[in-house]
């Protein structure tokens, strides 16, 4: 990979893929699926120089990320906040730019977003279909709604740009 970054046909894309791999952190140790990790790497490479909106929307559905952040344990009536918190804190807004209530409501939006047989699936009976309010947006939100809500926050551009220039 280092050789591809240095002398391959698309060095900038490879360097940005590496950047996004650190930004959207996960771990083979926790995911325990080379197929899922390769899929995540391909998602990052395909979107490395493209739209952050597409990248964020892809990460929300990425099997490796869903496994890494325990979203298979995120069920209606018993939301798991790991993915929702990291979406806000590390992947889009930075600490202090959301409330604990936003995390709880975003976790509800992600209920039922699971990995089954290595693929992303929405398990309808596990999804909380009730109204939720995340960062001032109210509705019957699900994980597909979260990227647009996060991207609309002024903190998002600052957070992502800050990560790029560090």
What is the residue-level pLDDT of the chain in tens, covering all 166 positions?
677 767 777 889 999 999 999 999 999 999 999 999 999 999 999 999 999 999 999 999 999 999 999 999 999 999 999 999 999 999 999 999 999 999 999 999 999 999 999 999 999 999 999 999 999 999 999 999 999 999 999 999 999 999 999 7
pTM attached to this predicted model: 0.94
Question: How many degrees, rounded to 5, is the angle at CA 137 between CA 55 and CA 116?
Answer: 45
Residue ranges in the chain assigned as alpha helix (H) = 2-7, 11-23, 28-31, 34-47, 52-61, 63-68, 82-89, 100-109, 146-151, 154-165
Question: What distance in Å separates the CA atoms of residue 126 and residue 113, rounded to the nearest whole number?
Answer: 8
Backbone angles phi, psi at 105, to 5 degrees: -70, -40
């Amino acid at each position: 990979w280092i050789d591809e970054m240095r002398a391959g046909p698309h060095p900038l894309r490879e360097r940005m893929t590496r950047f996004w791999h650190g930004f959207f952190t996960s771990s083979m140790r926790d995911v325990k699926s080379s197929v899922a990790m390769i899929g995540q790497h391909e998602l990052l490479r395909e979107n490395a120089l493209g739209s952050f909106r597409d990248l964020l929307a892809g990460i929300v559905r990425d099997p490796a990320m869903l496994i890494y952040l325990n979203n298979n344990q995120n069920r209606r009536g018993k939301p798991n906040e790991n993915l929702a918190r990291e979406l806000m804190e590390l992947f889009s807004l930075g600490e202090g730019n959301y409330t604990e209530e936003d995390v709880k409501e975003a976790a509800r939006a992600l209920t039922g977003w699971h990995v089954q047989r290595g693929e992303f699936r929405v398990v309808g009976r596990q999804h909380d279909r009730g109204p939720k309010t995340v960062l001032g947006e109210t509705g019957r939100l699900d994980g597909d709604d979260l990227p647009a809500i996060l991207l609309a926050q002024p903190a998002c551009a600052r957070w992502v740009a800050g990560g790029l220039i560090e």
